[in-house]
Amino acid sequence: MTKAPLLLATALFAGLNTVTAQNVPPEATPFQMQGNIYLPRKLPATPERVASLKAPAGFTVSAYAEGLDMPRMLALAPNGDLYVSNRVKGTVTLLRDANKDGKVELTKQVAQKPHLHGLALKDGKLYMAAVRELYVADVKADGTLGELKTLYKDLPDAGQHANRTLQFGPDGKLYLSVGSTCNACDEDNPENATLLQVNTDGSGRTVYATGLRNTIGFDWHPTTKALFGMDHGIDWLGDEDQQEELNQLKPGGNYGWPSIIANGKPYPANKPKSGETYAQFDAKAVRPLLLYKAHSAPLGLVFNRSQQLPAEYQNTAFVTMHGSWNRAQPSGYKIVRVRFNEQGQPQQFEDFVTGWLVENDKSEFGRPCAIVQAADGSLLVSDDDNGVIYRVAYTGGGKAVKKEKKRG
């Protein structure tokens, strides 16, 4: 009675051994997820601390607006009015420097819907992105808004990256960034982890680029019109991986997330969903042009289009690094510039405004967030940690600018 089951079990075991011997599984991939959590102590952005910020010679940094409640994304109107979103309260606030002295005098809430975040202005209309909705409203003569009209209410569900951002391209079309729902996973919705091209009449949208974990800041090169964006790297890969990516975003491009990170490095936890090998998948993916220190969290990107900055800043891109949390030694908490060559290709990152990290990098008094450029060439930068909008202005004088241009 006991021999039959024993023989059957032996036969099954022998068969299993035969199959295993004929189909030897691959060796295990050595891989260990790890990481550190460190948040610098938050300090107030006092006038003395703002004055201590370091910028290149000829530039000054000042507080353009203070006492705001978590200012996030920015949109600048042709008349200089600045609109700022608060993603927690879902508000949009109008800021106005009426006498053009570099300091806001008027602050007025002009809209509120749950989770409003991304902002973009075009032809007298303000476009506002929430998690699943895209709204539009007419801008009135006094800067307030008309009724918010819903263009879309079926954007992808939120997840880890729910902060949609908006920009109008030189082609006049609206681009909307949709982050991934997770740190690293296979998305079910093909619109997650993408950049979308959106029809502003509500008639539809298309996927412009995929494989983007969270590209919040993007802009077009003033001369070549090529589109560039900063993508966030995967967390929990240690202090030095995955680095932040500067990508040239092309129609139909796949930028590798979550299977390929950095310069073609396979991510073992997520094999290509297509069934391809890593090598096959990587061969079709678009690799980044530059990499930046891991966990710095780039949020805003804008190209200089002003003739009022020195010649060496023509076609420079400015990027806000919001600052790390998943790293033992803090990274980010600064504004950097990206130098481009005459052919329109990025060459290197350089510090531009630093000093928000203090006390041997144990404390901070600001986290740069969105960035826009005003008509006078100054940069307006939001700080959602301390309720400040900074103004970075070139004060070297007209003669210095002309001299720089002549040398160039």
Domains of the chain: 43-394 (2.120.10.30)
Q: What is the mean pLDDT of residues 303-330?
A: 94
Nearest to 87 by CA among 126, 124, 131, 137: 131
pLDDT of 158 reads: 86
The rounded radius of gyration (Å) of the Cα atoms in the chain is 24
Token pair of 353 as six digits: 């405004």
| Contact by Cβ (8 Å): 338, 317 | yes
Q: What is the pLDDT of residues 190-215, one digit of tens each?
A: 999 999 999 999 999 999 999 999 99
Q: Tell me the residue ranges of DSSP E strands in 298-398.
A: 298-303, 317-321, 334-340, 346-353, 357-358, 363-364, 368-373, 379-383, 388-394
Cα–Cα distance measured from residue 201 to residue 204, given in angstroms and rounded to the nearest whole number:
8
Q: What is the mean pLDDT of residues 328-342?
A: 95
Q: Per-residue confidence at 175, pLDDT binned at 50, 70, 90?
A: very high
Containing 373, the helix (H) or strand (E) segment is strand 368-373
Cα–Cα distance measured from residue 211 to residue 157, given in angstroms and rounded to the nearest whole number:
17
| Residue ranges in 267-391 assigned as alpha helix (H) | 278-284
> In this prediction, what percent of the chain has a pLDDT beyond 70?
89
| Higher local confidence (pLDDT), 300 or 400 | 300
* Residue 154, burial from CB neighbour count under 10 angstroms (0-12, 13-18, 19+): exposed
pLDDT of 238 reads: 83
Q: Per-residue confidence at 59, pLDDT binned at 50, 70, 90?
A: very high
Q: What is the mean pLDDT of residues 298-306?
A: 97
